[in-house]
Structure 1
Amino acid sequence: MDTPSVSPPAARRRRGLGAWLALAFSSLTVILTLLLVEVVERASTAYLKESIGHGLGELANQTADKLDRGMAERYREVGLMARRYDLLDPRLTLAQRRQVLTDMQQTYGYYDWIGMTGLDGKVIVEARGLLEGVDVSQRPWFRNALDGIHVGDVHEAVKLAKLLPGENGEPRRFVDVAFPYAGAGGVTEGVLGVHLSWQWARDVERSIIAPVQERGRVQALIVSREGVVLLGPKGLQGKRIGTGSLRLAQGKATGYLVERWDDGVDYLVGYGATVGRGLYPGLGWTVLVRQDIADAYAPVRKLREHALWSGLALALLFSVAGVLVARRITRPLGALAESAERLGRGEAVALVPNARDYFEVQALSGTLDKLVADLVRQRAELRDLNATLEQRVEERTRDLEGALAAVRASGERMSAVVEAAQDAFIAVDQRGIVLDWNGAAERMFGWRRQEAVGWPLAELVLPERYRAGFADALHVFRQTGHLALLEQRLERVVIDRHGREFTIEMTSGLAASGTEAFFSVFLHDISERKKVEQMKNEFVATVSHELRTPLTSIQASLAMLADGMAGELPPDAARLTAIAGQSSERLVRMVNDLLDIQKIESGHMDFVRTAQPLLPVAERALGAMEGHAAKAGVVLRCDWAPGAEGIAAAIDRDRMEQVLTNLLSNAIKFTPPGRTVTLGLAQAAGKACLSVLDEGPGIAPAFQARIFERFAQADGADSRTRGGSGLGLAISKAIIEEHGGSIGFTTAAGQGTRFAVELPLS
């Protein structure tokens, strides 16, 4: 008679378990979802704030760079005007000179006044006739031009105030550029001066700031060296300020910070500084780009609101899913509990697994169902065990005899394989005595097997100069059980029966164990390959030398073009010339790297090692990379340990500087702008320690094992865009090892990399 499918107590238990699981799933999913949303929101907010701040800093830097470019162009242009033959020709009439100046003024609309004076300071001629005959000898631009100062800071119009209208309701302001001009005999005859309208700077500011105005009110300020606002909001223009961002910018730093100004408003301020360009020395201007913190961080608030609502929606969704999963889990467990209760009451119930249940329930059902049958079978096997024991012993004996025969056959096959191998095989015991010698070894060395077996290996195949080292290595192995040569592919020089030396490639391993252990050595003749490599090295050296001469000429020619040797180039041609110059410099570096690696491989690199302090070498390397670091926006710093000036080693100064500049160049290459690269010098454990620490992304685990190999480069796009030959670290490692030192690195993803060089103290 069938019993009810579900008893009331069981039903209550299932409902209780399902409810608890649903509550647990719902609670955990809500908590985990909200925590995950909080973590993501915090990380995203921090990243967004940093991106906004860096954006303002970049705007300030771009504005400063554009001011430098514009002033450098005007500086160069006015200097060229002062040397124009068609303007200085004494045969020209006053009207003809005025026409030349008018043509010059029309080439650049911001030249408000352009004229020539005599040495007495009186204006001889001006493009529009303004101030002709007026004495300007007391004006700073006239006196400074004769004293070699060719550019003056922003000032309001003095003599031109009544002759030129104001700009946007404000008095006109100028930047002065003036150069003395000379007559046919090379004697200075006067000054050519230009008043550059300050409206030029305002237009520069608008061209940079206007595209980002849609994100909020962004204001740009141009500040003089004395801290006076030359261009900015009406309430600040002409006033002196002393904010922290201004002090940082005057220190030639670039970045951003949050600060409160005198109006009581908190601003996000990006800052940058002009530094001059080419012959133009710069006027010490700094650029501040500020934005109300509420406007700047408006995207952050929107991100937070979106994250909050998304988190709540996900929590609700996961809660519903938790209830459904709890019901699905408890359903097969309830059925299994019901069947177990029926078995406990003595009913014959087969616990057949349901194909729709999950794996654990199926396994439990099947295991319980098989339990009784397994117990019965085990009892039957125990009863039959004594009766079959003798038969089992005979079977095991036959199995052992078969295994022994298989071992003998395997040994014979191994001997046949070793004898047929193309590579020479030698077995050597722990004393260095030859135990086996195959046919390939006979052909390689000229000794027959019966002559070689039982003879010391060193006397048969090693040149005299290597035998003592071989004996020492065997002695160390017998004492410690360790030999560094094992399981490595090595190149060695050996001799044959007639004393001829040649190069082989060997792989050795340890066979058996204990006192019966012996070395199995496979040798392959690579003397022909070495000849090919030597020919390759000579070819690379010849090609590199032949490439370097034309590359040097190309590089010099491009540099002269960029410096104006052929006159002013059109912008497109100047840009292409700069790209070609950079590419030729890179080719020269690659050729030099190829020459160095070839010299290292051939053993022809010269080292002049003398005992000397390491601190001056490190300081020179740091100074040599300052320009490269500044261009990349990376901060270089030093970390000298106390007493660093007394740390000395026997080094080749030039080669050691080459190592440090290689390491610094790599660190700068992979360090984001605004981060730091540190060069350190210390002494530890009787060694001189040099280190280069960057704040880059770290070295990928898949690339770490081959980082010191030749031409090794990470395959990601990030590395490819940075360029490089892949030889720098290989050359550096070879140089350090030639000095008896070592080089290594430690790295962590997102936390940077530290390269460490250790050298013996002198």
Structure 2
Amino acid sequence: MKNKLERFMPRGLGTQLALAFSLLSIVLTTALVALVERRAVAEVETRIGEGLADLASQTSDKLERGMFERYREVALIARRAALVEHDYEAAARAQVLAQVQQSYTYYEWLGIADRDGKVLAAGNNLLVGANVASRPWFRQGLVGGFVGDVHEAVLLAKLLPPQPGQGRRFVDVSFPFADAGGKVQGVLGAHLSWRWAREVEQSVVGSFARRNSVETFILSSTGKVLLGPPELIDATLALESFRRATATRQGGFTVERWPDGKRYLVGYQKGAGYSYYPGLGWVVLVRQGVDDAYAPVRDMRTQLLVGGVALALLCSLAGLWMARRVTRPLAQLARSAGEVSGGGASSIPSDQGGYAEVRALSRSLDTLVGDLEERRRQLLQVNSTLESVVEARTLELRRALDTVRASEARIRAIVDTAHDAFIGADLAGRIIEWNKQAEQLLGWRRDEVIGKRLVELMLPERFRPQAGQARASFLDGGQDGALDRRVERVVTDRHGVEIPVEMSTGLTGQGDAATFSIFLRDITERKRIDRMKNEFVGTVSHELRTPLTSIRASLALLADGVLGPLPADMQEVIDICNDNCIRLNRLVDDMLDIQKIEAGMMSFAPVMQPVLPLAREALRTMRGMATAAGVSLVLDSGPGAEAIVANFDMDRLTQVLTNLLSNAIKVAPRGSPVLLQLIAEHGGARLSVCDRGPGIPPAMRERVFQPFVQIGAKGSDAGGTGLGLAICKRIVDEHGGAIEIADAPGGGTVFHVILTRDGPARHAPAT
């Protein structure tokens, strides 16, 4: 496509410049016309729209004022003596009504009816004796002033003289009339001809409509056309202008599409009555076709286009003259360059005619030609030594390649002779390396697994979703907790047998070339030994608990003086034995808890429940120990703590908090507080135990959660078994939470216990 277009482009610079000037003129003219047209359309739309809105407002105001006059007239007529007093006969009343009807020609019918709805008299003697009790104007007129919306004539349609055009339409107005005592005697009703509204519309919009093709509509409060073109009378229009007028009760204008498919500029105004006349909610719309409204803009656009074409022609002629003036010196310079390239000359004259830029270009080209000659001479010299340089570089590349191959062979030998199974995988999780130890451990040969997905090959089905999520998180920039450390995982061999392994994973390389290096060590035997150890510890602990319970009970009885007063030295020995028996019993309980957790035998019953009762129960339990140690316990829960919930086992978490509070009380200085804080965190809860003790060195923080590691206390009698924090961590881990250590503000240590709403979650092996 590009080559086809280039064939039609002019070759010469002068012609191209002339064409560019012409195109630029056309583009600027088009842009100017578009800009002016847009601004003009906006201004015309605003000017005409505001004019239509003003016409709608004037028409609406005149309609409401006219209806107020009719409303007031009927109210005044209803109070005339001739209608109210009984002394007047029906003929006299009819004469009075006829005089009024002759004075106000818009009333098609004016009459009175008694309380039963019988017409007593009428200005034109029509409907006399008829019963109008079912008519709305009579029923509503009995209880007060009534104004009914526009409707077709019913009883009077056949009695009144024919009316040219469409049928008769009335607006009903009625008021009750009463005697001197205030008792209602009947109703005065008036049928106002709707031709009155057309004359009001003509008086406001008539002259403007004849000049500008404007149409006026009067709509009822429900959108029904009361006044407008004959084909739309009684039609209901769902228009944006009607919605705006009804919603805001303020005038304005809009551009919208009507049911005939044409777009109109529409001014609107909703009536709101006048004085004590309540109004019927009429909406006045004044519309003008968009094509008629924008006709001046089209004329202006035509004028601008004609002027733009003329301007483009002038600019093209000026561009052609300027292009020839610009390109003449360049053509001379091109001829001189052609002579140099053909060998006819060795330099380019720098005294070319034209302007300063061409002379500077001539000098630069002459200098460039000299430089090229010098470079060509140097290139010939370089070519003579290039072969020897290429040969030397090739030899260096061969040596480097040999070094790389030797390193690869060395790495292969190391991997093949490693004691652990080695697996290499790319970022997509596909196997790229598999040593002999991996073949022996898992049963697959190397050629059988290369290219297969590691997760599907050797990971149990229940762990695969979590492994996929961990790899996706790592690829998105997250951290994999299994990298650069040893973790225990479960894999399957080719026969589906699950094997416990110790896995260490490393990442080598960068970007898309990065690979995972995975070493696996079979720990089946170690697991068996651990189970034997746990069974032994559990058995010994159970065997120790029975005699310890008896010893503790006996010592407690002796210490409490059940056998009578003891000598002071004997009492001291008994107390020492009792205290150490308690410690030994606590050690056995802790060892049993550790054994149950590691054997998976400790039961958990997590329930979604509030966390605040847990904190209060832990403080209540430890209140006595704190009082004896001279330490105060403080609960910091803050507002909204009652709404904090998590999924946990109340008994097990109480054991965790009491253990942490016990440790804090032991190390806290006498008179200092121990703070238990509860806050919401990540949709769950965080419980923090803070003391003012000596703190825990950072080097110890990784070890304190291991069994039999003790934290220094403030007294020799405050030491523990060294199992409490290990039990706390394992209970929290079983709940899917976390326990952390940090420095407390102002000195001391704070333990954070983090609980989740999701409850216990097992960690899947990473890939």
The TM-score, its normalising length taken from structure 1, stands at 0.46
The TM-score, its normalising length taken from structure 2, stands at 0.46
Rg larger for: 2
